[in-house]
C-alpha cells in the first residue's frame, strides 16, 4: 500500500492492522516524518515506513503498489490531472486507487477554483463536483470509477478540543450561514472515489 500525503503515518499503522503486508507513506512535511520515527522507535515494525518526499519524486511508471491512497491531497495540487496520473503510475495494472477529496455540488464539468482562500486555506486550487471528479479519473485512464461516499464535514467531527486548541471548522464557516465558508463558498463536503488502474 502507498499512502500519499500520509502525514505521520497514523493511517499506515491502521492499514497494517487491517492486514496490509507493507505500507509506505510519503509526505514532504519533515515534522510528520519525525513524528513517525518517534513511534517507529517503540513499535519497531519493518513493514511500515514514512518517507519525506512528495509523489512527484516517486520513480516514473513505478507500477508496484496494489493499493494507493490519496486522502486530502488533490485540492492542494495545482494540476489535479497530473496528480491523478502520478497516482495511477504507482499502481500495478488492475491496482486500486482510493481517493478522498473536497467536492462541490454541481454537474459534470463544474469545478470551484477559489480566488484566494477556501475555508481559510491558502493552498486550495481545484474542488470538482463528484461527476467532474469521475470524468477526471476516467480521462487519466482509470477504470471502474465510482463514488462510494459523499459527506458534509460536521462541526462535531472537526472541532477544537483541549488537545487541539486552534481554530477549527466553525471558525472557517460563515457564522450566519453554516452552509457557506467564511469566503462565501459552499461549506466543505468530501467525496471518496475508488478506481482501478488500467
The string of pLDDT tens digits covering residues 54-79 is 999 999 999 999 999 999 999 999 99
| 116 against 155, higher pLDDT | 116
Residue-averaged pLDDT of the chain: 95
Check residue 157 and give its pLDDT.
76
* Residues 6 or more apart in contact with residue 42 via CB below 8 angstroms: none
pLDDT at 165 over 80: no
What the chain holds in terms of domains, given with CATH numbers, is 59-154+186-196 (3.40.50.150)
pLDDT at 182: 94
Give the pLDDT mean for 32-42: 95
pLDDT value of position 24? 98
Distance CA 113, CA 127 (A): 7
Per-residue confidence (pLDDT) for residue 47, from 0 to 100: 97
Assigned C-alpha cell, 118: 477556501
- Contact call for residues 67 and 2 (beta carbons, < 8 A): yes
* CA separation for the pair 8, 14 (Å, rounded): 12
Torsion of CA 127, 49, 142, 198, to 10 degrees: 170
pLDDT at 115: 93
- Check residue 162 and give its pLDDT: 81
Predicted confidence (pLDDT) per residue in 134-158, tens digit: 999 999 999 999 999 999 987 777 7
Residue 163: the pLDDT is 82
- State yes or no: pLDDT of 187 exceeds 90: yes
Amino acid at each position: 500500500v502507498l499512502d500519499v500525503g500520509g502525514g505521520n503515518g497514523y493511517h499506515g499503522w491502521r492499514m497494517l492492522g487491517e492486514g496490509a503486508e507493507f505500507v509506505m507513506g510519503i509526505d514532504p512535511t519533515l515534522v510528520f516524518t519525525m513524528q513517525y520515527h518517534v513511534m517507529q522507535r517503540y513499535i519497531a515494525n519493518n513493514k511500515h515506513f514514512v518517507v519525506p518526499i512528495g509523489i512527484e519524486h516517486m520513480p516514473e511508471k513505478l507500477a508496484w503498489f496494489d493499493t494507493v491512497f490519496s486522502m486530502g491531497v488533490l485540492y492542494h495540487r495545482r494540476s489535479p490531472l497530473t496528480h491523478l496520473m502520478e497516482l495511477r503510475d504507482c499502481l500495478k495494472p488492475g491496482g486500486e486507487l482510493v481517493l478522498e477529496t473536497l467536492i462541490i455540488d454541481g454537474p459534470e464539468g463544474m469545478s470551484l477554483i477559489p480566488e484566494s482562500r477556501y475555508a481559510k486555506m491558502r493552498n486550495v486550487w481545484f474542488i470538482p463536483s463528484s461527476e467532474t471528479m469521475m470524468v477526471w479519473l476516467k480521462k487519466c485512464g482509470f477504470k471502474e470509477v465510482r463514488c462510494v461516499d459523499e459527506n458534509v464535514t460536521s462541526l462535531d467531527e472537526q472541532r477544537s478540543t483541549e488537545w487541539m486548541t486552534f481554530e477549527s471548522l466553525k471558525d472557517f464557516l460563515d457564522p450566519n450561514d453554516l452552509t457557506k465558508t467564511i469566503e462565501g463558498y459552499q461549506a466543505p463536503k468530501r467525496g471518496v472515489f475508488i478506481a482501478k488502474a488500467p
